Protein backbone atom coordinates (compact mmCIF):
# COMPACT_ATOMS: atom_id res chain seq x y z
CA UNK A 1 0.00 0.00 0.00
CA UNK A 2 1.40 3.38 -0.99
CA UNK A 3 1.13 6.38 1.24
CA UNK A 4 -0.32 9.76 0.36
CA UNK A 5 3.12 11.21 -0.41
CA UNK A 6 3.74 8.55 -3.05
CA UNK A 7 0.36 9.29 -4.65
CA UNK A 8 0.98 13.03 -4.71
CA UNK A 9 4.59 12.85 -5.94
CA UNK A 10 3.77 12.73 -9.69
CA UNK A 11 1.50 15.76 -9.31
CA UNK A 12 4.00 17.68 -7.20
CA UNK A 13 6.66 16.96 -9.84
CA UNK A 14 4.37 18.38 -12.53
CA UNK A 15 3.33 21.41 -10.49
CA UNK A 16 6.94 22.08 -9.51
CA UNK A 17 7.99 22.03 -13.16
CA UNK A 18 5.17 24.39 -14.15
CA UNK A 19 5.95 26.84 -11.34
CA UNK A 20 9.70 26.84 -12.08
CA UNK A 21 9.15 27.31 -15.80
CA UNK A 22 6.47 30.02 -15.52
CA UNK A 23 8.96 32.82 -14.90
CA UNK A 24 10.98 31.82 -17.97
CA UNK A 25 8.01 31.36 -20.31
CA UNK A 26 6.52 34.72 -19.35
CA UNK A 27 9.90 36.50 -19.47
CA UNK A 28 10.73 35.03 -22.89
CA UNK A 29 7.34 35.98 -24.30
CA UNK A 30 7.64 39.46 -22.78
CA UNK A 31 11.00 39.97 -24.45
CA UNK A 32 9.38 39.32 -27.83
CA UNK A 33 6.82 42.08 -27.17
CA UNK A 34 9.46 44.47 -25.84
CA UNK A 35 12.25 43.47 -28.17
CA UNK A 36 13.88 46.89 -28.71
CA UNK A 37 13.64 47.87 -25.05
CA UNK A 38 15.18 44.55 -23.99
CA UNK A 39 18.03 44.97 -26.47
CA UNK A 40 18.65 48.45 -25.06
CA UNK A 41 18.70 47.15 -21.50
CA UNK A 42 21.08 44.35 -22.44
CA UNK A 43 23.40 46.85 -24.14
CA UNK A 44 23.32 49.13 -21.08
CA UNK A 45 24.55 46.17 -19.03
CA UNK A 46 27.38 45.44 -21.46
CA UNK A 47 25.69 42.44 -23.10
CA UNK A 48 25.37 42.49 -26.91
CA UNK A 49 21.75 42.96 -27.94
CA UNK A 50 22.38 40.50 -30.77
CA UNK A 51 22.19 37.73 -28.16
CA UNK A 52 18.51 38.46 -27.54
CA UNK A 53 17.17 35.74 -29.90
CA UNK A 54 19.25 33.17 -27.98
CA UNK A 55 17.94 34.54 -24.68
CA UNK A 56 14.34 34.28 -25.90
CA UNK A 57 14.92 30.75 -27.20
CA UNK A 58 16.48 29.72 -23.90
CA UNK A 59 13.77 31.23 -21.73
CA UNK A 60 10.69 30.49 -23.79
CA UNK A 61 11.83 27.24 -25.40
CA UNK A 62 13.54 25.89 -22.30
CA UNK A 63 10.59 26.83 -20.12
CA UNK A 64 8.12 25.07 -22.40
CA UNK A 65 10.32 21.96 -22.49
CA UNK A 66 10.34 21.91 -18.68
CA UNK A 67 6.54 22.26 -18.52
CA UNK A 68 6.09 19.41 -20.98
CA UNK A 69 8.76 17.30 -19.34
CA UNK A 70 10.45 16.89 -22.72
CA UNK A 71 14.24 16.69 -22.87
CA UNK A 72 13.97 17.77 -19.26
CA UNK A 73 17.52 17.08 -18.14
CA UNK A 74 19.31 19.02 -20.90
CA UNK A 75 16.73 21.83 -20.77
CA UNK A 76 17.09 22.08 -16.99
CA UNK A 77 20.88 22.09 -17.29
CA UNK A 78 20.70 24.93 -19.82
CA UNK A 79 18.29 26.94 -17.65
CA UNK A 80 20.45 26.38 -14.56
CA UNK A 81 23.43 27.81 -16.43
CA UNK A 82 21.35 30.64 -17.83
CA UNK A 83 20.11 31.49 -14.32
CA UNK A 84 23.64 31.69 -12.91
CA UNK A 85 25.01 33.70 -15.84
CA UNK A 86 22.10 36.16 -15.76
CA UNK A 87 22.51 36.53 -11.98
CA UNK A 88 26.14 37.47 -12.47
CA UNK A 89 25.55 39.78 -15.45
CA UNK A 90 22.38 41.57 -14.39
CA UNK A 91 22.11 41.26 -10.61
CA UNK A 92 25.70 41.46 -9.43
CA UNK A 93 25.28 44.67 -7.41
CA UNK A 94 24.78 42.92 -4.08
CA UNK A 95 24.90 46.24 -2.20
CA UNK A 96 21.44 46.93 -3.67
CA UNK A 97 18.95 44.82 -1.70
CA UNK A 98 16.63 44.43 -4.71
CA UNK A 99 19.47 43.16 -6.86
CA UNK A 100 20.63 40.87 -4.06
CA UNK A 101 17.15 39.32 -3.91
CA UNK A 102 17.14 38.79 -7.69
CA UNK A 103 20.63 37.31 -7.51
CA UNK A 104 19.58 34.83 -4.83
CA UNK A 105 16.34 34.03 -6.71
CA UNK A 106 18.37 33.14 -9.78
CA UNK A 107 20.65 30.89 -7.72
CA UNK A 108 17.62 29.20 -6.14
CA UNK A 109 16.14 28.59 -9.60
CA UNK A 110 19.47 27.12 -10.73
CA UNK A 111 19.35 24.79 -7.72
CA UNK A 112 15.85 23.64 -8.61
CA UNK A 113 16.86 23.02 -12.20
CA UNK A 114 19.87 21.01 -11.06
CA UNK A 115 17.48 18.82 -9.07
CA UNK A 116 15.59 18.21 -12.31
CA UNK A 117 18.89 17.32 -14.00
CA UNK A 118 19.51 14.71 -11.32
CA UNK A 119 16.01 13.33 -10.88
CA UNK A 120 14.25 13.93 -14.18
CA UNK A 121 10.75 15.22 -14.83
CA UNK A 122 8.76 12.51 -13.08
CA UNK A 123 6.05 10.20 -14.39
CA UNK A 124 3.71 12.92 -15.70
CA UNK A 125 6.03 13.97 -18.51
CA UNK A 126 6.71 13.30 -22.15
CA UNK A 127 10.13 11.98 -21.14
CA UNK A 128 8.46 9.27 -19.04
CA UNK A 129 5.95 8.49 -21.78
CA UNK A 130 8.71 8.02 -24.36
CA UNK A 131 10.86 6.05 -21.92
CA UNK A 132 7.91 3.69 -21.42
CA UNK A 133 7.81 2.98 -25.15
CA UNK A 134 11.51 2.12 -25.35
pLDDT tens track for 51-85: 999 999 999 999 999 999 999 999 999 999 999 99
Residue 121's nearest CA partner among 5, 11, 7, 13 is 13
pTM for this structure? 0.92
Cβ atoms of 127 and 69 closer than 8 Å: yes
The domain locations on the chain are 4-133
Instruction: Determine the Cα angle at 84 with ends 98 and 101, to 5°.
Output: 15
CA 100, CA 65: separation in Å to the nearest integer?
Answer: 28
Looking at the predicted structure, is the pLDDT value of residue 20 above 50?
A: yes
Task: Give one DSSP letter per residue of 38-104, joined into a string.
Answer: HHHHHHHTT--GGGHHHHHIIIIIHHHHHHHTSSHHHHHHHHHHHHHHHHHHHS--TTSHHHHHHHH
Cβ atoms of 8 and 121 closer than 8 Å: no
Q: What is the pLDDT of residue 1?
A: 47
Amino acid sequence: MTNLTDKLAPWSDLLGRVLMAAIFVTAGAGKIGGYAATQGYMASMGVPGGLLPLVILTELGGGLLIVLGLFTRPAAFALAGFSVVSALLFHGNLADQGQQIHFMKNLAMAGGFLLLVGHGAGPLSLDAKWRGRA
